[in-house]
């Protein structure tokens, strides 16, 4: 089956002035995604902007795919304003997702901002000891909390301004909690903004904790041809869209 396919909008839920959940129905046979993979989306009616926009898969079933969209510019504005029945041009699923944890590992999920979309498919699908550390700038930007509470048994919320949960970011909350968690063989699965990832990598290195990071990078082709989304690893530069977006922390130069 081709990873290029046409779809139509099944629903578009506006969560705030800047975020919405876009639900689409594929109109052709398509490959099923895995947690951590992403899609490139573009409104079918226009070639402006020319490039599709990348989005982590949030949820899916046999008939639908869902994405958390943050308003950033013209391309995401078009997606935000789409109505049920509108056509959408899709490429995906793309990239390498999160590996399944070993039986003796305890998964720890860390999400900052829209990074929650990347780790969301893991919530509730891993074993009961899984913990989620989820942070945002303020309580208004903590999306999907009701859904998360139905799936996750152990949730640690943080906000930069202290309006909900721990005052600080998700990594600070994780670092503060690690000595008290008493979990066997913790393994981190994370996605978030660049600053969060940088501080998380330091915490994992200092504590000797393994993990996997999904990188949020601007992309053009999405298939590894343009080399526009490379990051530096210990094996040289690698493409986020092709060798990632999920990388083992042991690979990453930090």
The domain boundary residue, chosen from 94, 116, 136: 94
Domain that holds residue 82: 4-94
The verdict on 138 and 206 lying in the same domain is yes
The verdict on 88 and 150 lying in the same domain is no
Please check whether residue 55 lies inside any domain of the structure.
yes
The verdict on 192 and 235 lying in the same domain is yes
The domain boundary residue, chosen from 94, 122, 156: 94
161 or 75, greater pLDDT: 161
**Could you tell me if 36 and 246 are in contact, meaning their C-beta atoms sit under 8 angstroms apart?**
yes
The pLDDT value recorded for residue 50 is 47
The pLDDT value recorded for residue 212 is 97
pLDDT at residue 81 greater than cutoff 60: yes
Question: In this structure, what CATH number is given to the domain that contains residue 83?
Answer: 2.40.30.10
Burial label, 217 (beta-carbon count in 10 A; 0-12, 13-18, 19+): middle
Please check whether residue 101 lies inside any domain of the structure.
no
Give me the helices (H) in 70-124, please. 74-80, 116-119
pTM score = 0.92
**Could you tell me if 8 and 25 are in contact, meaning their C-beta atoms sit under 8 angstroms apart?**
yes
- The span from the CA of 238 to the CA of 14, in Å, is 35
Q: How many domains does the chain have?
A: 2
């Amino acid at each position: 089956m081709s990873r290029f396919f046409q779809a139509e909008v099944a629903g578009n839920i506006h969560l705030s002035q800047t975020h919405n959940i876009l639900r689409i129905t594929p109109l052709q046979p398509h490959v099923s995604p895995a947690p951590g993979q992403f899609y490139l989306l573009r409104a079918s009616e226009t070639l402006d902007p020319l490039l599709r926009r990348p989005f982590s898969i949030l949820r899916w079933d046999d008939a639908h795919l869902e994405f958390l969209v943050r308003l950033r510019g013209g391309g995401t504005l078009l997606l935000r304003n789409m109505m049920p029945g509108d056509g959408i041009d899709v490429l995906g699923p793309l990239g390498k997702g999160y590996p399944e944890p070993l039986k003796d590992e305890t998964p720890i999920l860390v999400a900052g901002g829209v990074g929650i979309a990347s780790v969301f498919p893991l919530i509730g699908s891993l074993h009961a000891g899984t913990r989620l550390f989820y942070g945002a700038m303020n309580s208004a930007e903590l999306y999907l909390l009701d859904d998360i509470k139905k799936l996750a048994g152990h949730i640690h919320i943080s906000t930069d301004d202290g309006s909900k949960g721990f005052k600080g970011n998700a990594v600070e909350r994780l670092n503060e909690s690690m000595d008290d968690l008493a979990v066997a063989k913790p393994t981190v699965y994370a996605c978030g903004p660049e600053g969060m990832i940088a501080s998380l990598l330091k915490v994992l290195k200092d504590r000797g904790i393994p993990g996997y990071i999904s990188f949020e990078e601007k992309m053009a082709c999405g298939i590894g041809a343009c080399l526009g989304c490379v990051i530096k690893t210990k094996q040289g530069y690698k493409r986020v869209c092709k060798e990632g977006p999920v990388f083992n922390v042991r690979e990453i130069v930090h």
